Chain A
Amino acid sequence: MSLVDRRIGLLFAGFLLLLSFAFVRALYLGTIKGDNLARAANVQQTATEIVPPRRGAILDRRGVELAVSEPASDVSVTPYLVKNPRAAAAELAPLLDRPAADLTTAMARRDTGFVYLQRELPAGRAEKIRRLGIEGIALVPSERRQYPRQWLAAQVLGLVGIDGKGLSGIELSRNRQLTGTAGLRRSVRDALGEQLEVRDVERARPGKDLTLTLDAQIQDRVEAVLHDVGAKFSPRGASAVVLDPRTNEVLAMANWPQVDANAPEGAPEAAQRNLATNFTYEPGSTFKAFTVAGALQDRTVEPEDQFTLAPTIQVADRVIGESHVRGTVTLTTKEILAQSSNVGAVTIGSKMGARRFDAWTRRFGFGRPTGVDLPGEERGLSLPVEKYSGSTMGNLPIGQGQLVTQMQMSTAYAALANGGVLRPASIVKAVAGTPVPPPKGRRVLSEKTARDVRGMLAGVFAPGGTAAEVTVPGYSLAGKTGTANKFDTKLGEYSTARYVASFVGFAPVEDPRLLISVMVDEPKGQISGAKVAAPAFGKIAAFALPYEKISPR
């Protein structure tokens, strides 16, 4: 054999040997270590994660987003896996918006294997944290609820808790529809952490979008008006409701003080209540419209009936007078309402009798929730007729001695405005694009009686009426002022320093398209509905009427 042949043979033998080693190694890894390696690969490379369902958005009637969920992550740490907590904290602090010292303390803990560093971190920042590749840091997909208009209708929309469940408002009452179904996703990553394969084992189903009856622009303006009321009269609270009396769709429901829906922890708990449904008060003179309406419908009185009224009237042991000193006057039923005569209203009430009066109170929906789709609606307090005392009928016809909610007053006045049909207010217009059927109403008054009462209420804005100072040029207005003493539980009698000022009105009188109710709790300086609530009604009407394209006369 030549030298060349021997060298070739040697090289060949060498390669054969190497190949044999590779073969043996492959055999070893594939058979003896095969199972272990497969298990390890599964643990390291395969991950199963829960895909949180997208919570449905809440929109106004024109599609403006009022509540939206954005992808986020919960950032947690396994402390004993973090090699250098201080360095890790320094990297994470700007992304988590937390002091590095706090993070260092959390990551240095040895008493637990799991610590949350941040919940609901926006997905953009979570992605930056993931790219840092800090060992021990885990990111769990979650969601973050955002209210882009911040203060707008915060008490109506409500809040969502850290676990994605509605806690108040619409978020609570419609939680089931807003919440979707979580999914399950399996992913395989390579050694560098890049995803090789993604498979949805169970597909996540997003929640349903809700379209409300609210109009964001009207809501905005109403909140601005209430803000002015708050600045001027420093009340304990104030609320306003705007609805279309033809359908009882709520166009605006505002509260003061306002709450930032994105940071509710900064507001006191009292401010987070929706006063329109969760606050009861004595309605005062605004209730007189129902006293008169019931009496007219029963034909107990007629609009032009005349009453000679003394300055005061005695009912059992109580003497009821007017809000202003006057002598004996003769007023028609119309004028009693327009001038808000207490003596006149008590006289009409006594003509009706306690039982008929009680029947009418309940017929107009007082004493029970209206059924509006908001949680925690109060039912108010209407004394059962069996519990009337001798002087009860000196109180109830003028709106004292009973508790109502602003929602009850608004829907009852809507019955006067729309020709006599009482129906619950609606606030949810559509679910996932499917219109919600409007709530059914029931007739409580004839059209004629409703028309007569509307005409009387228009007199409130006429010269001599309690709201004569308020006008909206080009539009005919109707409504009723109310100023009610609040009951002082410590003194056991009505306070002379604390009042609820209210106003409920609608326009145009001939064909009411908007109903506006304003309630101010304990205003300071001025206390009457005419001075505090009626001007707010005027400002809201001046914006809302042309906005809704309602032509002036």
Chain B
Amino acid sequence: MSNKRPILSVENLTKVFGGVVAVDNVSFTVEEGEIFAVIGPNGAGKSTLFNMITGVLPSSSGNIYFQEKRLNRKKPYQIAQMGITRTFQNLEVFDNMTVIENVMTGAHITMKTNILTAGLRLPSVRNEEVKTMERAMEALEAVGISDLAYEIADRLPYGSQRLLEIARAAISNPKLILLDEPMAGLNSEESRQLVEVILKMREQGMTFLFVEHDMETVMSISDSIVVIDNGVKIGEGTPEEIYQNPQVVAAYLGDEEEEGVEAYA
């Protein structure tokens, strides 16, 4: 725990929609090799925060640094090229492709083929295709769905589609994978499978930042947690520390009306 280096720093990040402050001056630092969770009740601003880090939404103020490089104003594809990939809460598989093509598309930024070499199908292109396919197969094995490789992606069950998204996000060897509510919509068996995959990949040195509503999973797998409520950071620490934080307990167990405040993006 001691010699870890910061990989992602969020500094005083704020997002204002009209008059509503969705994310208010939030700061935290994710260190290399950890599973970092951002939690909070519905409408706390988690998704807005997530969308700012992935470049989908511009921030109103504050900074995001990834390995000392500023991410603000970078486009999503540029952020991916820097080494941050992601999965989606509402599943965004390429439904017009097979499972293995989905994963091969994830390897897009690691490939060199251009339109001319592709059209002439030079031997280098062929080799790259074969290699990418093998890597894609390995990535599918790592998440345990290699038997579905040649199915059309949207025919997969929900849980498998989420695993597919993780394989797609992991194949480019990113430095950080962002998971947007990875447990949403999964049954307990699927959740268990997903947790296993995430823990295994962390062991191999992957860093994860995830936004999650489901407290139980967060507590069981995270190394560090940030809790936000109404856009404000109300707690930070290890799962044990979070359990004992009275503000967090109040936010989660306190009045239910707050659940109605939707600042969801």
Do A and B assemble together? no
Interface residues of B (CB under 8 A from A): none
